[in-house]
């Protein structure tokens, strides 16, 4: 399952191109998850790789794994210090007024009447900051590059919806019907394991993105 997702490998870390539609670890509802398949990526290591961070079930793209406990500790510290830079691509409904900017809106987790949780903008919540840049716009939609400066759950999805341009395919925070895929892709990671020469890894967009990006003139 994961053999064709490998983007980068060294003695300490792996970066894979996570498929959309599968959670990274087991949830309360059970079912398949990526961790069930990490043995496929063990190679010559003593143990299977471990998650250094998470991506949502419906998000594709760069996912960093540690190949040993020392690497996991080092990656954890880098994430805690906000030194690992993540870049996302999103296709949204609508067009931002400014071609680039910063979304600074606190987020809080809430439960609705059906005891289902989601995130919302709330002044009493936790700090959440996302930088964005518009790459192209066409037919009432925009292709954005987003860089979260904090790591809140569903941060990009909620911030974009809050600004009036929800992600295409987002049935929780937008108008998605659950049939079209969520158009959120973890395009790149920059990992300063060696501060003098940070590692940069890019994930090519998955198949559902191809026709969508053709509209914007993407040549990749």
Concerning whether 56 is annotated as a catalytic residue, the answer is: yes
As a whole number of angstroms, the distance between CA 23 and CA 212 comes to 24
CB of 101 closer than 8 Å to CB of 130: no
CB of 143 closer than 8 Å to CB of 136: yes
Distance, C-alpha 163 to centroid of its chain: 19
**Active-site option among 11, 32, 56, 131:** 56
CA triple 9-156-143, angle to 5 deg: 85
* Segments in 81-206 forming alpha helices (H): 155-163
The two tokens of residue 186 are 């973890």
CB of 158 closer than 8 Å to CB of 58: no
Q: Other C-beta atoms within 10 Å of 210: how many?
A: 12
> How many Cα atoms are found within 13 Å in the side-chain-facing hemisphere of 100?
6
CB of 120 closer than 8 Å to CB of 112: no
Active-site residue list? 56
């Amino acid at each position: 399952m994961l053999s064709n997702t490998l983007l980068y490998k060294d003695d300490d870390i792996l970066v894979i191109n996570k498929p959309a539609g599968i959670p990274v670890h087991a949830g309360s509802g059970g079912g398949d998850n990526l961790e069930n398949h990490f043995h496929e990526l063990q190679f010559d290591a003593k143990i299977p790789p471990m998650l250094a961070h998470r991506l949502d079930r419906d998000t594709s793209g760069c996912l960093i794994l540690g190949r040993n406990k020392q690497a996991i500790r080092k990656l954890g510290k880098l994430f805690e210090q906000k030194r690992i830079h993540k870049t996302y691509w999103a296709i949204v409904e609508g067009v931002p007024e400014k071609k680039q900017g910063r979304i600074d809106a606190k987020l809080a987790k809430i439960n609705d009447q059906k005891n289902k949780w989601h995130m919302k903008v709330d002044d009493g919540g936790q700090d959440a900051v996302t930088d964005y840049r518009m790459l192209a716009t066409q037919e009432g939609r925009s292709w954005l590059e987003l860089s979260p400066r904090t790591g809140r759950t569903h941060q990009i999805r909620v911030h974009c919806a809050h600004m009036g341009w929800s992600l295409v395919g987002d049935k929780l925070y937008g108008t998605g019907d659950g049939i079209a895929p969520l158009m959120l892709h973890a395009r790149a990671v920059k990992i300063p394991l060696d501060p003098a020469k940070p590692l940069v890894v890019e994930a090519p967009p998955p198949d559902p993105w191809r026709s969508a990006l053709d509209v914007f003139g993407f040549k990749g």
